Amino acid sequence: MDEEMILFWIIFVNMKKKEKIMKVIPVLPQDQVFWYLNNNLAAPLMHDITADVVVVGGGMAGLTTAQQFHDKGCKVVLIEKNYCGAGASGKSSGFITPDSELSLFELMRLFGKDTGKKIWKLIGSGVDIIENNIKNYQIDCDYQKQDTLILANSAPKRCAFCYWL
Ligand SMILES: Cc1cc2nc3c(=O)[nH]c(=O)nc-3n(C[C@H](O)[C@H](O)[C@H](O)COP(=O)(O)OP(=O)(O)OC[C@H]3O[C@@H](n4cnc5c(N)ncnc54)[C@H](O)[C@@H]3O)c2cc1C
């Protein structure tokens, strides 16, 4: 690998913890997962209510959206058909990475350099929201910041990061 092709980025993955989890998961019953242990079902909605914002789905996306509107002073109603964390969020491995399914290069190719850069930055800011919540609500979840390495396997992809930096 050409050293110039190697780019460093920040990641929030605890490799040591991952090793520990890898040993535990095969014997961990599903009902021991945090979200499943805390699956207190809210009462079904039986009457009309009013709200500024209605969010459908109590996963990471819905809960974060609801929180953001709530913090801006809106009256928010979150509707969840099972319980919060019942979907993919309750099955996540817990790696909080400041990147997306699309690489910075792909985002810039699809949306232009400036918009691609803004989208990449926005995605990374999701990590800040989670980190702030952990601090503000004093959530004991063994959160640790770790380093990571993002590799570019072509010159155009490397250029995308040069433009970003
Ligand atoms: C095994 C696994 C491991 C993963 N590991 C990671 C990881 O380490 N790091 C990472 O970043 N991502 C990981 N992911 C991906 C991540 O979990 C998902 O991208 C993320 O949780 C999606 O959140 P969401 O809020 O969009 O969806 P969900 O968490 O699925 O939330 C959607 C919610 O909407 C509810 N709902 C659906 N339809 C309705 C309806 N009509 N009315 C009311 N409620 C409704 C569902 O019940 C559900 O609770 C993993 C996913 C899986 C499956």
Q: What is the value of pTM for the model shown?
A: 0.78
Which atom number of ligand 1 is nearest to the Cα of residue 60?
25
- Supply the residue whose CA is at minimum distance from atom 40 of ligand 1: 81
- Listed residue (156, 165, 163, 164) closest to 5, CA to CA: 156
State residue 70's pLDDT score: 96
Q: What is the DSSP string of 64-87?
A: HHHHHHHHTT--EEEE-SS-TT-S
For residue range 131-153, what is the model confidence (pLDDT) as tens digits? 999 999 998 888 988 887 778 88
Share of the chain above pLDDT 90, in %: 35
